[in-house]
Amino acid sequence: CFLSLQKREISNFDYLMYLNTLAGRSYNDYMQYPVFPWVLADYHSETLNLTNPQTFRDLSKPMGAQTVERKQKFIQRFNEVEKNLSAQCHYCTHYSSAIIVASYLVRMEPFTQTFCSLQGGSFDVADRMFHSVKSTWESASRDNMSDVRELTPEFFYLPEFLTNANHFELGCMQDGTVLGDVQLPPWADGDPHKFILLHRQALESDYVSAHLHCWIDLIFGHKQHGTAAVEAVNTYHPYFYGDKMDLNNVKDPLIKSTILGFISNFGQIPKQV
């Protein structure tokens, strides 16, 4: 399959879906939903230049290390935890979880009901809802130390998830903005279909094709855990590594329940492939 990718016989999208499947991730499990990368860093230009490397996200770095400043903060956290706590990691939140998936796809059923169920029966505060691609990128790549989320496959083929066709009352933000359709970058001209078209072109671009293996190493490969992960600023709370933990040796039922609940609610590292 990798040779087919190198020869351009299959798309980057198909290869990522293949890897997700090998790693045990599935559309049928929100807790282990297929994970896809942010591939762009330009959500402000009027036109999208896919020949400019500056247009793209650095695929060799996890979302927590996209800026030098935030990378240093997470390294500092890792070093401070080493001195004070047993759970040494860079990130205490995950890049893919049931709530992240449901929040992205909240404008479509059955994700609407799933999201509300996970939120205790109602939508979240409007300012925390997924409402803008640009602001979500800025949060996950720069602004929010508890946000390192990646994307779902729908960002590359399904324009419907970006529109509030069901007219759900999603609330009103503090600045008075009523939540409806997702706000798109200028280069999409307010058209979800154009956004998906250009976003898919970005995924299949020469730049992403040349660097996608770096992201795969972080999520599915050798930089997923261990020394290589530490060097890549890519370690997560130990509970996220579900397949690395032997729960049979956890005798305390409360601790075991806590670990299982943590994995269910906050995400799980894919099986290494």
Q: What residue segments make up the domains of the chain, in order of their start?
A: 1-264
Q: What would the DSSP string read from start to end of the chain?
A: -HHHHHTTSS-HHHHHHHHHHHTT--TT-GGG---B---B---S-SS--TT-GGGB--TTS-GGGSSHHHHHHHHHHHHHHHHH-S---SBSS-S--HHHHHHHTTTSTTHHHHHHHHTTSSPPPGGGS--BHHHHHHIIIII-TT----B-GGGGT-GGGGS-TT-----B-TTSPBP-SPBPPGGGTT-HHHHHHHHHHHHTSHHHHHHHHHHHHHHTSTTSSSHHHHHTT--B-GGG-GGGS-GGG---HHHHHHHHHHHHHH--PPPP-
List, for residues 150-195, the tens digit of each pLDDT value: 999 999 999 999 999 999 999 999 998 899 999 999 999 999 999 9
* 44 residue type, one letter: H
CA distance 211 to 269: 21
Q: For residue 2, what pLDDT band results from cuts at 50, 70 and 90? A: low
- Enter the tokens of residue 188: 């999409």
**Tens-place pLDDT, residues 204-254:** 999 999 999 999 999 999 999 999 999 999 999 888 886 665 666 667 777
Q: How far apart are CA 70 and CA 80, in angstroms?
A: 15
Percent of the chain surpassing pLDDT 70: 88
- Using a cut of 0.85, tell me whether the model's pTM lies above it: yes
- Higher confidence at residue 111 or residue 2? 111
% pLDDT > 90, the chain: 74
- CA-wise closest residue to 162 among 194, 186, 137: 194
Q: What is the pLDDT of residue 87?
A: 75
Class (C level, CATH) for 1-264: mainly alpha
Tokens coding 226? 């261990």
92 has a pLDDT exceeding 90: no
Q: CA 89, CA 23: separation in Å to the nearest integer?
A: 22
